[in-house]
Chain A
């Protein structure tokens, strides 16, 4: 059996025939541990090709001590996760992928104390790449905190994770 066949077999075991990616359950699962769990990311909402994740404000995630403004690092993480999950939401299934690039514009500082919500959309999937965009806001979608555009590379499950 080739490496690829082995990997495909493994994925079949994890995701049986007819597997459907449920964005809500998926997001809850992906935010339960690791970096996302540590930051306290939460599922918020989803549609056909978009998903929203929330990040409650926390004192130890602040970037400027004097103002209490959330650091931009956690916003990168939030947008990375939300855009990533928007791909699986659009496809209705889980495929291994890695971030190729991500660009973020910080439109304004997040309001101290407020939860930041990322709304991410996958607007196109090609054979090897998925194209995503999104915003982060703290209550008003028309007054975003950040704007993002990125690309995910669809990869083989071989070596994708090392549990």
Chain B
């Protein structure tokens, strides 16, 4: 699972799998000019992108456990920004609430140095589609 294949966007943004926690990858992203919004702080979109990547990775891991090769399509996301992201490494991890036949619901959180002080909290819904015939 540490070999989870991050898409070009995630690699461009400097995201990587930091470690696996209870079966779900913790995705990390270092602070850099490319993720900065207002001076000194993380851009809300960069936080959103990290949350989505963690949600996707958590769901992929869960589907792998179920032996499912379903394709995952994002349906929607709702993000609460809880505090400004400072110039530190940021982490995010998703928790699959339910992975059904057609829809999956995932909760995701992002934090920095202190895990108990969340930077953002989010839910995300996905549509599951049958794997493409190869």
Q: Is the CB of A98 within 8 A of B33?
A: no
Say what secondary structure dominates the interface of chain A.
mixed
Complex Cα spacing A65 to B9, Å: 10
How many residues of B are counted as interface, with CB atoms below 8 angstroms from the partner's CB atoms?
35
Q: Is the CB of A74 within 8 A of B49?
A: yes
Residues of B contacting A62 with CB < 8 Å?
7-9
Distance in Å: Cβ of B134 to nearest Cβ of chain A:
11
Complex Cα spacing A103 to B48, Å: 10
Segment touching A, from B76-84, B101-109, B110-118: B76-84
Name B residues whose Cβ lies closer than 8 Å to a Cβ of A.
7-13, 33-41, 43-46, 48-50, 52-53, 73-81, 84
Name A residues whose Cβ lies closer than 8 Å to a Cβ of B.
33-36, 38, 59-65, 70-74, 76-81, 98-106, 109, 160-163
17 extra A-B contacts, CB within 8 A, seeds A35-B34, A65-B7, A73-B52:
A34-B34, A34-B39, A35-B37, A60-B8, A62-B9, A63-B9, A70-B9, A71-B7, A71-B8, A73-B46, A76-B77, A77-B46, A78-B45, A100-B81, A104-B77, A163-B39, A163-B40
